[in-house]
């Protein structure tokens, strides 16, 4: 690092003092806290993004958002060259940067890290970082802090992409690094053209199965997703999207609205009521990377029937399995690709969904809780589908499968003369372009759900009847050190303290369809308890019993 670079870093970092007594950690959500605590952290993430760009020789993204958190919070996270999350190898460096107590410590950290990683800081090598933010009032100032962080590295340039959903920024980073046009309009056009292709391939006998099929009512969580969905909707033909709770409507972000609220509370969001009973309704979260559907119950209780991420995963898996069966069974396409389809869940997936997927003959895999684990496992398959119950997930296609589909569909007409195998290849290729390959995306996920329902000829009620969730209950136990509990097998088995898992097994065995696991929280000093059983009462009793076991083994108080 030359003297010019040292001077620039020392001068710029002196304007951003880290908050006293606060230690931040980079996790799945990046850094997230009350917005007033974040200027220094966001500035330093700007530095990290520029260094990451120099290291990889690729465009990197910085997204400023706190997703489903309250409006006074904010956060910041990195989009890596493939549009995915920051490499776990760099997370400790992110933590060290954020918590460096002074400009001098910061400079020392950077010097040591660039030397270890072999990052060339010669002022000639170029770095490029795309910046995006959601609609939070604190976003503008934090984006400026990120810009100053990026430009404190000589040779680094910034491109402000404006107000975006989180998945849009991830898509743009991936597109730029693949040499594809990456504006918001390009994103909209790719989604809308892929949707039209799938609409054109809907079997004619199913195209008008339900008078409500052409309309979906969407809760935008008073966030950025509602605005973007309105813009996207103008490019659509058959599908009508009615958006409520957009950021333009004056409501408070994530307050009584949004996918997180709907999924956890199982209540109608603000702006919905008994007059919407029977309609197909959906809800996005604050930055539009989560999606759940719901059915308003006809009585005025405010209750809903939730159609969550597990049901979305099941719908996608059913459709994709059908297309693969057409490819494998029909002789219309020679040398069929030996496609491996895999489904990835966490232990929090309802047991009924897992049983349904296995009954379909699908390979179901489990990972620890966290999108980074789900995404990494899904990427091992030719087609990997992952979703969390909270509505975050996507479908990943291998590059080799996409190349095969492109080669096989180049000469195919999508008209009525195409064989079922040819139509299936066209559909799968369109799905790979519609669904976001970088990260969970509520907008692309919504469009895929809608067109699959049309293809199947299903109402939301028919979809919701695929299986019935087992009753479940979640509790937590306060602990002094959550690391006292060590788990294995995708967090479903307790390894330490000894004897706890055996006690959990004995208790679980008392209940029909009983299933229970405990795991340390990733963010709080608590141990989380999840239980399922054949009735809600039994699930609650099992959860309470295991909570007492955890307290007994660890000598702690439950809450």
Percent of the chain topping pLDDT 90: 83
Q: What is the mean pLDDT of the chain?
A: 93
Q: Which DSSP category does 510 fall into?
A: T
On whether 521 is known to bind a ligand per the annotation, the reply is yes
On whether 234 is known to bind a ligand per the annotation, the reply is no
On whether 328 is known to bind a ligand per the annotation, the reply is no
On whether 147 is known to bind a ligand per the annotation, the reply is no
Interval 318-328: pLDDT, tens: 999 999 999 88
Classify burial at 34, counting beta carbons within 10 Å of its beta carbon; exposed 0-12, middle 13-18, buried 19 or more: middle
Tokens of 54: 């120099």
Residue 147 pLDDT more than 60? yes
Interval 357-378: pLDDT, tens: 999 999 999 999 989 999 999 9
Interval 252-292: pLDDT, tens: 999 999 999 999 999 999 999 999 998 999 999 999 999 99
> What is the arithmetic mean of pLDDT over 134-144?
97
The whole-number pLDDT of residue 298 equals 87
On whether 388 is known to bind a ligand per the annotation, the reply is yes
- Residue 416 — very low, low, confident or very high, per pLDDT cuts 50/70/90? low
- CA atoms of 543 and 159, how far apart (whole Å): 49
CA angle 439-397-164, nearest 5°?
A: 25
499: region left, alpha or beta (phi > 0 left; psi from -120 to 50 alpha): left
- Residue 558 — very low, low, confident or very high, per pLDDT cuts 50/70/90? very low
Domains in the chain and their CATH numbers? 3-182 (3.40.120.10), 472-554 (3.30.310.50)
On whether 519 is known to bind a ligand per the annotation, the reply is yes
CA distances, 411 to each of 35, 405, 421, 486, 547 (Å): 53, 11, 13, 55, 61
The whole-number pLDDT of residue 502 equals 96
> What is the arithmetic mean of pLDDT over 519-528?
84
Q: Which DSSP category does 89 fall into?
A: G
On whether 95 is known to bind a ligand per the annotation, the reply is no
Out of 67, 194, 314, 545, the active site residue is 67
In the annotation, is 67 catalytic?
Answer: yes
- Residue 43 — very low, low, confident or very high, per pLDDT cuts 50/70/90? very high
On whether 285 is known to bind a ligand per the annotation, the reply is yes
- CA atoms of 290 and 388, how far apart (whole Å): 9
The answer, yes or no, to whether the previous bond of 533 is cis (omega within 30 of 0) is: no
Residue 553 pLDDT more than 60? yes
> What is the arithmetic mean of pLDDT over 141-160?
97
| DSSP notation for 220-239 | EEEEHHHHHHHHHHTT-SS-
């Amino acid at each position: 690092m030359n003297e010019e670079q040292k001077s620039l870093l020392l001068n710029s970092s002196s304007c951003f003092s880290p908050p006293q007594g606060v230690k931040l950690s980079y996790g799945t959500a990046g850094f997230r806290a009350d917005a007033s605590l974040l200027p220094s952290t966001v500035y330093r993430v700007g530095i990290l993004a520029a260094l990451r760009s120099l290291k990889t020789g690729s465009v990197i993204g910085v997204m400023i958002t706190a997703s489903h958190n309250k409006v006074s919070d904010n956060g910041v996270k990195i989009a890596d060259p493939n549009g995915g999350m920051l490499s776990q190898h760099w997370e400790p460096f992110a933590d060290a940067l954020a918590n460096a107590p002074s400009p001098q410590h910061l400079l020392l950290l950077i010097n040591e890290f660039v030397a270890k990683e072999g990052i060339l800081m010669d002022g000639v090598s170029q770095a490029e970082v795309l910046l995006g933010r959601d609609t939070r009032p604190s976003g503008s100032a934090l984006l400026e802090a990120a810009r100053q962080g990026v430009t404190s590295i000589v040779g680094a340039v910034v491109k402000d992409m404006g107000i975006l959903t989180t998945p849009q920024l991830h898509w743009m980073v991936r597109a730029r690094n693949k040499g594809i046009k990456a504006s918001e309009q390009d994103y909209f056009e790719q989604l809308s053209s892929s949707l039209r292709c799938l609409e054109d391939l809907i079997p004619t006998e199913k195209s008008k199965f339900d008078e409500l099929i052409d309309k979906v009512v969407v809760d935008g969580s008073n966030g950025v997703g509602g605005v973007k969905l309105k813009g996207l909707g103008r490019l659509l033909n058959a599908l009508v999207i009615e958006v409520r709770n957009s950021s333009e409507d004056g409501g408070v972000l994530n307050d009584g609205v949004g996918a997180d609220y709907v999924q956890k509370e199982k209540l109608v969001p603000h702006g919905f009521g008994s007059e919407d009973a029977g309609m197909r309704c959906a809800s996005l979260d604050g930055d539009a990377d989560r999606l759940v559907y719901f059915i308003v119950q006809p009585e005025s209780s405010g209750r809903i029937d939730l159609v969550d991420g597990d049901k979305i995963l099941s719908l996608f898996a059913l459709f994709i399995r059908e297309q693969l069966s057409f490819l494998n069974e029909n002789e219309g396409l020679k040398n069929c690709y030996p496609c491996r389809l895999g489904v990835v869940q966490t232990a929090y997936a309802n047991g009924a969904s897992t049983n349904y997927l296995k009954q379909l003959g699908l390979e179901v895999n489990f990972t620890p809780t966290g999108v980074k684990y789900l995404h990494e496992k899904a990427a091992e398959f030719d087609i990997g589908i992952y979703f969390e119950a909270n509505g975050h997930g996507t479908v990943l296609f291998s590059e080799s499968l996409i190349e095969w589909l492109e080669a096989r569909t180049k000469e195919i007409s999508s008209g009525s003369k195409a064989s079922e195998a040819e139509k299936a290849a066209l559909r799968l290729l369109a799905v790979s372009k519609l669904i976001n390959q970088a990260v969970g995306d509520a907008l692309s996920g919504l469009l895929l759900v809608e067109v699959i329902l049309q293809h199947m000829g299903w109402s939301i009620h028919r979809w919701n009847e695929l299986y019935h969730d087992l009753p479940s209950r979640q509790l937590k136990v306060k602990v002094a050190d959550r690391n006292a509990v060590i788990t294995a097998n995708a967090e479903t088995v307790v390894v330490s303290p000894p004897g706890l898992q055996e006690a959990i097994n004995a208790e679980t065995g008392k209940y029909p369809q009983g299933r229970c696991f405990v795991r340390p929280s990733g963010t709080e000093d608590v141990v989380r308890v999840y239980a399922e059983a054949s009735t809600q009462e039994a699930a609650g009793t099992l959860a309470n019993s295991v909570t007492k076991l955890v307290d007994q083994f660890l000598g702690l108080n439950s809450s």
